[in-house]
Structure 1
């Protein structure tokens, strides 16, 4: 980690009050910790935009496993993306619904494309992709 630098920030009092409330709500011990997280999140977001960089994704899918051929379709899409899928976990939520969680790694474009194919498959009730990076470029 590099040398720590102190700097000042000018804010409207109402904005600072809301920021302090957010810091308390999220259990930050100091404003500096919260600001560091905000900066890191902005840097991660910037890395996501470069679809050629290695990205890590967590995809969650909720679906009714009784839907005709849905499990087979999802499995076929996953087999087409063997290079991107690191692991998966399948959970039975109730008699009808399942949760599938996939960890993906690779170029951002590949992860986004695979996630979109899975999420848009007829019968998937909900899908959400959460992206991050390997953190190589983030301090």
Structure 2
């Protein structure tokens, strides 16, 4: 492996415990190896999302902690800003703290990316995943 850089990060204890359980289950040799894979996956997803163009239809899935200050209102406000793109939404209570918002979208890929990026920056949002297809059922490359 080429040049290596050493970094230091802060992670909540609960998140690190869950991460350690996952990497043990998957058989990683070290946290570093698992973190490298996670970073690669993040970069691939980001580049895929950034490369989308044209008309798309699909979903933007958002998991958030509804106890975070004003997170629900901010998520709703953002959705109102993109009402021309949003076909429907589904709200699911996952547990005592977390909700899943499934936002069905159809429109220009640039606007879908903008919606996803705005949602991802809201404090209290834990995860944003975009799943879209081109018209005619072709999965974008």
TM-score by length of 1: 0.60
CA distance in structure 2 between the aligned counterparts of 1:84 and 1:71, rounded to whole angstroms: 19
Q: CA deviation at 1:50?
A: 5.7
Consecutive unaligned residues in structure 2, runs of 5 or more: 1-47
Match of 1:108 in 2: 109
CA distance in structure 2 between the aligned counterparts of 1:86 and 1:134, rounded to whole angstroms: 15
Match of 2:80 in 1: 79
Higher Cα Rg, which structure: 1
Taking the TM superposition and a 5 Å limit, the aligned residue runs for 1:1-139 are: 49=51, 51=53, 53-135=54-136
CA distance in structure 2 between the aligned counterparts of 1:50 and 1:118, rounded to whole angstroms: 18
Q: CA deviation at 1:54?
A: 1.1
Deviations 1:17-42 (A, max 9, x none): xxxxxxxxxxxxxxxxxxxxxxxxxx
**Deviation beyond 4 Å, 4+ runs, structure 1:** none
SS in 1 for 2:72: helix
Paired residues, number: 91
SS in 2 for 1:122: coil
Q: CA deviation at 1:49?
A: 4.0
TM-align CA RMSD: 2.1
SS in 2 for 1:79: helix
Consecutive unaligned residues in structure 1, runs of 5 or more: 1-45
CA distance in structure 2 between the aligned counterparts of 1:137 and 1:62, rounded to whole angstroms: 27
Q: CA deviation at 1:63?
A: 0.7
CA distance in structure 2 between the aligned counterparts of 1:127 and 1:54, rounded to whole angstroms: 20
Q: 1:91 to 1:50 in 2, by over 3 A?
A: closer
